[in-house]
């Protein structure tokens, strides 16, 4: 299990990640775009949004830092663009942490299965810290 930083950008994630990759001399990032996610008839992406970054990461000095553009249509504010992500192969532990941190907080996405994880969710705790929870098999 680990805690990782997740940084969101306002439509310029690709530029930022390529910049950081050059600065920190990392491997070229693998970038997943919004166009690659499963289609949802309730959410139609514009042509302009399809190339935005859904997810990528870099290993910077031994730590994984994850990046994405904010979800199209979601507001971007400086301060809500960094979250802490709990990565674990123990779903019971993810559920325990999630349920404790959501008290007096705001659930952004209930823990659920997604196309990338069998258990993912996000919330903002009572102190305004954004947390993501993601199952990762060993």
**H-helix segments, 3-120:** 13-24, 47-50, 91-101
- The order of strands in the sheet holding 53-60 is 32-33, 53-60, 63-69, 2-9, 82-88, 130-135, 120-124, 106-112
Distance CA 3, CA 65 (A): 10
pLDDT higher than 90, residue 88 = no
Instruction: List pLDDT tens digits, range 48-76.
Output: 999 999 999 999 878 899 999 998 888 88
Instruction: List pLDDT tens digits, range 5-33.
Output: 999 999 999 999 998 999 889 999 999 99
* Structural domains present in the chain: 1-76 (3.10.180.10), 82-138 (3.10.180.10)
pTM, rounded to two decimals: 0.71
pLDDT the model gives residue 94: 92
pLDDT higher than 70, residue 4 = yes
């Amino acid at each position: 299990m680990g805690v990782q930083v997740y940084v969101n950008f306002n439509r310029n994630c690709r530029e930022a990640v390529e910049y950081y990759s050059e600065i920190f001399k990392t491997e070229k990032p693998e970038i997943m775009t919004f166009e690659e996610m499963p289609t949802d008839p309730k959410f139609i992406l514009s042509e302009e949004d399809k190339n935005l970054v859904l997810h990528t990461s870099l290993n910077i000095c031994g730590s994984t830092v994850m990046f994405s553009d904010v979800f199209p249509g979601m507001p971007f504010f400086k301060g809500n663009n960094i979250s802490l992500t709990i990565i674990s192969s123990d779903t019971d532990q993810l559920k325990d942490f999630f349920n404790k941190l959501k008290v007096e907080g705001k659930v952004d996405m209930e823990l659920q299965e997604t196309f990338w994880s069998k258990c993912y969710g996000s919330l903002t705790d009572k102190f305004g810290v954004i947390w993501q929870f993601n199952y990762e098999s060993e």
